[in-house]
Chain A
């Protein structure tokens, strides 16, 4: 039996993964089955055609390995994907493999099969996952979920290069060209929040304000979290000390008080789609968003899309941070075919498959291992040519999810209950004293910690 398993393992590695690194991981993979079944609950991708490519890859693997595949593509609209995971975790039955949005792995970590064998095999072959993905997936000494490229995205600045060049005298294409080797360090270093504010004032005066949401939505977390981090403000330490009441937070709040004077006054009522609309309206000169905003513009306002350049966030005193929401894959402990599920995930993690998926998503899906960032799509996709080259991290930025570096359970609360956008709006919209707003946020977070 054991010999048979080993023989099949070799076969698998030959046919699927090229028989390289994963072969050295003892006891993994486990392909050796006769007519097993796998049921997958996957995210229903918004990019047309991506689901079909993913389905084709998985079904081909199923055919080669005699695994009967059933795939349910579940939308995240109306939080249906999250609701499905919640229902399955309670019922103790459902899909074998489940796609999770950013924080769901944390919520279900005790109900998920550790993915150490798969993650270790992929790390050995392709290098480490980025720090943000590791923070979210590697908890309590184990990989509770596996970082997935599908749906994972970052939050670069999407700037109308024509408007910023004309009205603010800032050429973002020149600072962040579509080739990292051509970057001028002096110019990149000068791109900080102070410079962004100066530019924001000018484009506002010209009638083309930048627009970033400060409301109960994920987009707000995904630019405010990095901004606070770039000022050195952390909300809670990994040990659980509440540190939001700090000079760094105060400084960031004072900065936002000034910046919001030059943003649209209605950002406090924006939803996650508002910045897309702001960009395609032709009035917005910059938003912070994944390329979905550009995709909408390409469809509805091609002239606007042709002027959108994706690039790095401004630098603060403590570095340059960019928001990121990785998606993950998990295998329930109650799954009937855990070994087959892991084998499939290992297969999906191979470069050949990742390459196809990144292409199918038109570059939206962001791999979490840096060695995959040399995919040519971000160089090629247009208009403008090279406009998404900087969508993956190319320079000195660090990826972060709002709530980091608090322990993941608490960070998930900080993310999903929006105390950070609320703290900011108390200062910038309601005129509350920043120290009072910080005190309020600290009290809120302390409430979350009471358990």
Chain B
């Protein structure tokens, strides 16, 4: 006689286990925290900023939709136009200096010498110190009344009257560019150094054997291989410099006579200082298309390089 034993009942897996077996669901669960953070801290403020820029909101008034009025008003404001021009000038020259000096320092640090590690670590100091703190130190060095630089130059007999570091429009802008360069150059140097170390020394050796001098080795071997890294660094730097706020806010507050205002500092003055949130948001949004264009152009170029 055949006895049919009851088939063991397959233990039903818990819902959570079954859910986690579903790759799509698992992916969604794992992505959710990141999406939530992006939505709350990036997307919401951005959308809110766009909405504010299209409204007449001020600190004590919810405002109403005004279309592009704030943008037109900003464009008609001579101080805004100055700040807009300053932002390009500041970004261009600071980036040029950071790139040239960063490249030079990276090439030096790529050599072998005693204390190499210490120098590399020390070089990062300006980048590590909080911007506000280091800019305060610079502000004291450029202080109109107590500038240590003026005092040193005067005592050394190199100047007869104080140099107007922060009280003259041109001087103040170049002081700001210098500090930005001082602060940002280590980032360029260390990133380019990392790029340099990926270049096979055999290539340089081969070029040397072919009679290439130092400049030709750099131009024909180092630079082409370093270009992708350089472009990434430049993109990051342009974004950070174009939207710089802390340095100018602490160093000059936008003065003298608005000559060092950048878009970000002017947006703050209008949005927070004067309480016109809508106008302040509109001013800050002027940065968006410019940065978008820069990033798009450079990434496009980068992709072309990778494809070549």
Contact = CB atoms under 8 A, between A and B. Distances in A.
Contacts, number: 101
A364 interface: no
Nearest to A278: B145
Contacts of B167: 265-269
B299 interface: no
Given A109-B60, A269-B166, A440-B78, A447 B256 contact: no
B258 interface: yes
Contact of B270 (A83, A266, A417): A417
Interface residues of B, number: 35
Contacts of B78: 440, 443-444
12 contacts: A79-B272, A215-B256, A217-B253, A265-B162, A266-B144, A269-B256, A412-B275, A417-B269, A417-B270, A422-B257, A444-B78, A444-B79
A220 to B, nearest CB: 10
A266 B166 contact: yes
B145 A266 contact: yes
In this complex, the member of A108, A217, A281 whose beta carbon has the largest number of chain B beta carbons within 10 angstroms is A108
Interface string A255-276: 0000000001111111100100
Interface string B166-189: 111100100000000000000000
A416 B274 contact: yes
A264 B168 CA distance: 13
A429 B257 contact: yes
A55 interface: no
Interface in A308-359: none
Given A216-B253, A277-B145, A425-B256, A86 B164 contact: no
A430 B166 CA distance: 14
Nearest to B275: A107
Nearest to A110: B60
A244 to B, nearest CB: 15
In this complex, the member of A90, A277, A447 whose beta carbon has the largest number of chain B beta carbons within 10 angstroms is A447
Given A79-B273, A86-B272, 19 more contacts: A79-B272, A107-B58, A107-B60, A109-B60, A215-B253, A215-B255, A216-B253, A216-B254, A216-B255, A265-B162, A265-B167, A268-B257, A269-B166, A269-B172, A416-B273, A417-B273, A425-B256, A426-B257, A430-B169
Chain A at the B interface: SS class:
helix
Interface string A392-432: 00000000000000000000110011000110011001100
A265 B254 CA distance: 18
B256 A268 contact: yes
B232 to A, nearest CB: 34
B60 A108 contact: yes
A410 to B, nearest CB: 11
A144 to B, nearest CB: 10
B60 A269 contact: no
B174 to A, nearest CB: 14
